[in-house]
């Protein structure tokens, strides 16, 4: 370790941009945590959204995304308004809006929040019960492309599949929108090979590191050893993410899991903040 001083905290402290953080209005947060804990997924960080945002700052994070998802029709707009208010008060936030495909006014709503400067859209098919190539989302993707905004998709089969995740849906989507600026959560796990291959084909595609490489018994976070070199090769396209606060371990483990890979300093600079500064115009 002594020969690689950049593996120690001061080198990234206060610079980290975490592209995968969840913030919900407090009552919803509590319901989500109760659900996780039924599966022994014990959340380390709990508090009001404001307290959690401050906690991230203490942990060395300069900027973080705000992701949430409407689990049923009729609530997306309220959630997006809540996100807007939160982001106004907390300048270190990159707000993402949510939609539910059964709602009627999604295109208009997307436009409204994109015009207000939202970073993009988050979709979570495991909870929202549709896949990312669902035709009902097409007008929303069109709006996102028009605004040069981003989409963050949980479309991999980790930590489990409900039949609505998997690379097949993502391929279908990208055939339709090859220029889409898209972040695939969890490095595309568990179909790592397939998603890494697609990086060659789609220049605006990114992978976030969320939960992968961490040491936990709660679910399988292991990454194929033979692919570690590819993380370095494609390090321009990898963004740091954590899933904070819904993680069953200390936040530092999200960072340490990556540091254990012993990359060169420039690789970590890119993953922890430089790529995100470039992609989301942060100075």
**CA Rg, the chain, in Å?**
18
Q: Which of 34, 103, 97 is nearest to 72 (CA)?
A: 103
- Interface segment toward Zn ion; rule CB under 5 A; list 4-12, 97-105, 224-232, 235-243: 235-243
Here the tokens at position 34 are 């109760």
Q: Which is nearer to Zn ion, 243 or 269 (CB)?
A: 243
Q: Which is nearer to Zn ion, 191 or 243 (CB)?
A: 243
Q: Which is nearer to Zn ion, 243 or 253 (CB)?
A: 243
Minimum distance of Zn ion from residue 163's CB (angstroms): 19
Minimum distance of Zn ion from residue 136's CB (angstroms): 22
18 binds Zn ion (CB under 5 A): no
Q: Which residues pair with 21 in a beta bridge?
A: 244
Minimum distance of Zn ion from residue 154's CB (angstroms): 6
Q: Which is nearer to Zn ion, 138 or 157 (CB)?
A: 157
Single residue of 143, 208, 243, 253 touching Zn ion by CB under 5 A = 243
- Interface segment toward Zn ion; rule CB under 5 A; list 47-55, 56-64, 98-106, 242-250: 242-250
| Paired sense of beta strands 61-66 and 205-208, if any | unpaired
Minimum distance of Zn ion from residue 3's CB (angstroms): 35
Helix (H, G, I), strand (E, B) or coil at 277: helix
Here the tokens at position 142 are 């069109």
Using CB under 5 A as the binding criterion, the count of chain residues that bind Zn ion stands at 1
DSSP codes of every residue in 120-146: EEEE-HHHH-S-TT-GGGHHHHHHHHH
Minimum distance of Zn ion from residue 246's CB (angstroms): 7
Query: Measured over all CA atoms, what is the biggest interatomic distance in the chain, rounded to whole angstroms?
Result: 58
Report which residue's Cβ sits closest to Zn ion. 243
Edge-to-edge strand list for the sheet holding 181-184: 16-18, 61-66, 93-97, 120-123, 150-153, 181-184, 205-208, 238-239
Minimum distance of Zn ion from residue 178's CB (angstroms): 25
Q: Which of 183, 185, 181 is nearest to 209 (CA)?
A: 185
Contacts with Zn ion, residue ranges (CB under 5 A): 243
């Amino acid at each position: 370790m002594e020969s690689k001083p950049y593996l120690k905290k001061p080198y990234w402290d206060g610079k980290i941009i975490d592209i995968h953080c969840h913030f919900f209005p407090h009552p919803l947060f509590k319901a989500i945590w109760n659900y996780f804990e039924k599966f022994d997924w014990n959340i380390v960080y709990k508090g009001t959204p404001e307290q959690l945002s401050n906690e991230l700052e203490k942990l060395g994070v300069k900027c973080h995304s705000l992701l949430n998802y409407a689990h049923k029709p009729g609530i997306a707009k309220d959630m997006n308004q809540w996100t807007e208010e939160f982001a106004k008060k907390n300048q270190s936030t990159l707000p993402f809006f949510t939609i539910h495909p059964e709602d009627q006014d999604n295109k208009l709503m997307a436009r409204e929040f994109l015009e207000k400067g939202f970073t993009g859209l988050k979709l979570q098919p495991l909870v929202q019960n549709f896949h990312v190539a669902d035709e009902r989302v097409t007008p929303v993707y069109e709006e996102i492309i028009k605004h040069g905004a981003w989409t963050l998709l949980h479309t991999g089969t980790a930590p489990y599949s409900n039949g609505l995740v998997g690379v097949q849906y993502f391929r279908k989507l990208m055939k339709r929108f090859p220029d889409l600026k898209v972040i695939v959560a969890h490095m595309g796990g568990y179909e790592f090979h397939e998603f890494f291959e697609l990086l060659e084909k789609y220049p605006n595609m990114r992978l976030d590191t969320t939960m992968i490489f961490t040491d936990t018994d709660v679910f399988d976070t292991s990454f194929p050893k033979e692919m570690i070199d590819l993380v370095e090769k494609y390090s321009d396209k990898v963004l740091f993410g954590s899933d904070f606060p819904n993680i069953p371990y200390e936040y530092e483990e999200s960072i340490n899991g990556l540091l254990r890979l012993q990359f060169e300093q420039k690789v970590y600079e890119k993953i922890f903040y430089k790529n995100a500064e470039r992609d989301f115009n942060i100075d």
